[in-house]
Amino acid sequence: MRRIDLDHNATTPTRPEVWDAVRAAPDGNPSSAHAAGRAARRALDDARERVAAALGCEPDEVTFTGGATEANNLAVFGLAGPGRVVASPLEHPCVAEPLKKLGNVEYLPVTHAGVVEVPAAPADVRFAAVMLANHDTGAVQPVRVVVDALPGVPVLCDAAQAVGKLPVSFRDLGVAALTAAGHKFGGPKGVGLLVLRRGTPFTPTVFGGHQQGGRRPGTEPVPLAVGLALALELAVAELAGRRATWAALRQRFLAALQPLNPVVNSPADGLPNTLNVSFPGTRADLLVPALDLAGVACSAGAACASGSLLPSPVLRAMHLPDDVVRAAVRFSFGRDTDVEAVDEAAGRIGHAVRRLRGNGFVPQTPPGGRGTH
């Protein structure tokens, strides 16, 4: 049985050419003065310049980290000063949990489409956090609107789900900090990015080295940085074609699911690779493992959330009915997803949903559900 990966928002496979670049990269310490160190430094500087070109920032604004979780923690604790915090309630746990440590967080209201609304800015705001694209629903957030509503306030934008799926320009967003993870766009695991606007006050939270301007001390992972830079370049170069392909696949996939009467929780104008749907009369904590046994990988929420089968706090923030939230499953496409995969997956999903409903679940249209589109 062919396994079908429809969980690319959790991670997407490292590209073969990226592995080749990682293996070929200099493996010396870029802080060393000898030849091996100088070669590593050149490779690291080149990777930083390539990342900057792809994301619309300056090379000295790029800090390599161990992933988006580390990058977001560095940003939250390095940028927030005394005062109130404004945040989206849709954030990934690696932003949401650090924010809780700050206290005094005011959450922005959210529409039923999963997009934050931006009211008048409260007084004494010291820091704000709004992601660019949501990991559960694919909803794209009005980051620039938030920035404009909070003049002078450092805004963190978690772009982990957006890079490689949307055009991303650090300069155009106007945020103080942007984060990303290599493994979300075909790069290696264990490396991420913190892009920090030049001149932004930043308080280091890790100590013991001078590397990367003291923002993230420690020997830089040169081979991983090289791999990330190549993966990012390839993702950006292929973006337009990839988005068109994903949009067509998403439409075909959703059409194939229509006989199951799904409730669609993703906005039509969100990430083209992401579809979050609820199947009335089922529960995600039963459907996800059933689909795994049927050879289809999907999820009930962020992979970093405990167990990954708990009801999504993102969908709860959208004020969806409880039975819709508990029945929600996220499907997400990658660069290798094709027509054959989505057609076969839809058939297996139909079989699993009907089996669960036949075991005592009664399909119904939940009150307040958004229906299909």
From residue 98, how far is each of 53, 70, 183, 287, 353 by CA, in Å? 30, 11, 22, 31, 37
Find where tokens 């009467």 sit: 261
Contact 129, 85 (CB under 8 A): yes
Name beta bridge partners: 63: 194
* Cα–Cα nearest to 212, from 31, 34, 69: 31
Evaluate the CA torsion angle 319, 122, 198, 40 in order and state its sign: negative
Residues 6+ apart with CB under 8 A from 315: 114, 136, 137, 265, 276, 324, 325, 328
* Contacts by residues 242-246 (CB-CB < 8 Å, ≥ 24 positions apart): 242/164, 242/165, 242/335, 243/165, 243/166, 243/272, 244/272, 246/165, 246/272, 246/273, 246/333, 246/337
Gap between the Cα atoms of 257 and 347, Å rounded: 8
- Selecting among 57, 157, 298, 304, the annotated active-site residue is 304
346-362 burial code (b ≥16 CB/10 A, e <16)? bebbeebbbebbeeebe
List the structure tokens of 6.
């429809």
304 is catalytic: yes
Active site residues: 304
